[in-house]
Amino acid sequence: MHLVFTTGHTAPAGTALQRRDLAERALDLARMLRLLLPGDPGVAGLLALILLTDARRHARTDPAGRLLVLADQDRAAWDHGEISEGLTLARQALRHRPCTRYPLMAAIAATHATAPRFEATDWAQILALYDQLTAIWPSPIVALNRAIALGQARGPGAGLAALDALDALAAEPQLTGYHYLPAARAEYLRQLYRIDEARLAYDEALLLASNTTERDYLATRRAGLGA
């Protein structure tokens, strides 16, 4: 269900950012599973994660269809009904110990959902949650997300160092061809004014990205670096 949702939330290829048919199907299935297993904290965490992530769907592109990253989204356009439901489920799931994968992922999504603006995001809390998640579910994708959170919490230099450390995992199937790694490197390199390196990182991300909306965003960011 999570795989179906993530594929719908950001389509791997094509011109549209989202596949709403897949995202909505995953949400329906998660609700059904919750009815079947009401006492399972993992199921509650999964439904919470889907709700809290799906709540941003209307704010992820502008009227022209251009990608809006989290920092640029209008949080008033988020679905606050889904956020409220997701927060309730996340709290229920997190009461069970030890915490499992989906309640922790829901807690990360909840931290984003409750920040009144991007600058108020509690990145230290998100980083701590990623540390917990890494301890029970180590994976290259979690490591990438943790590195991005580290850069937000402690500065672009720290984030870039963590991303560079992932080079040793470049042979991992989950990271091979994964354009978010060079895209994240490009952003931190840009913040550090290492413009030539940032340009090369954006070029790599553009080679790997297959979704047109994401490619257009990356191309715009690259163009902003100058010739």
Share of the chain above pLDDT 90, in %: 91
4-8, 92-96, 194-198, 223-227: which has the minimum mean pLDDT? 223-227
* Mean confidence (pLDDT) of the chain: 95
The radius of gyration of the chain's CA atoms, rounded to the nearest angstrom, is 18
Q: Which domain-ending residue is among 121, 147, 180?
A: 121
Q: Which pLDDT value is given to residue 18?
A: 97
Residues 19 and 91 in one domain: yes
Query: What tens digit of pLDDT does each residue of 61-103 get?
Result: 999 999 999 999 999 999 999 999 999 999 999 999 899 999 9
Count structural domains, the chain: 2
In this predicted structure, the answer to whether residue 143 has a pLDDT above a threshold of 80 is: yes
Q: Kindly state whether residues 145 and 110 are assigned to the same domain.
A: no
Q: What is the pLDDT of residues 148-165, one digit of tens each?
A: 999 999 999 999 999 999
Are residues 215 and 110 part of one domain? no
Q: Which of 121, 150, 170 is the last residue of a domain?
A: 121
What would the pLDDT profile of 209-223 be if each residue is shown by its tens digit?
Answer: 999 999 999 999 999
Residues in CB range of 149: below 8 A, 6 or more apart: 123, 126, 127, 130
Q: Residue 176 and residue 169: Cα distance in Å, rounded?
A: 9
Claim to verify: residue 32 and residue 70 sit in the same structural domain: yes
Are 95 and 132 found together in one domain?
Answer: no
Rounded Cα–Cα distance for residues 72 and 70 (Å)? 5
Closest by alpha carbon to 100, among 149, 73, 133? 133
Residue after which a domain boundary falls, among 60, 93, 121: 121
CA 223 → CA 142, 181, 195, 196, 227, distances in Å? 29, 19, 11, 12, 7
pLDDT digits (tens, 9 = 90+) for 13-71: 999 999 999 999 999 999 999 999 999 999 999 999 999 999 999 999 999 999 999 99
Query: Do both 131 and 115 map to the same domain?
Result: no
- 17 in Cβ contact with 209 (< 8 Å): no
Same domain, 17 and 80: yes
- By three-state DSSP, how is residue 53 classified? helix
Q: What is the pTM of this model?
A: 0.95
Tell me the residue range of the domain where 200 lies. Answer: 127-227
Q: List Cβ neighbours of 45 (8 Å cut-off, separation of 6 or more).
A: 89, 90, 93, 94, 100, 101, 102, 103, 104, 105, 106
- Residue 213 has what pLDDT? 98
pLDDT at 177 over 90: no
Is residue 177 located within the same domain as residue 104? no
CATH number (domain holding residue 142): 1.25.40.10
Mean pLDDT calculated for residue range 181-197: 97
Same domain, 112 and 4: yes
pLDDT at 171: 55
Domain co-membership, 47 together with 114: yes
| pLDDT score of 102 | 98
For the stretch 116-134, pLDDT in tens is 999 999 999 999 999 999 9
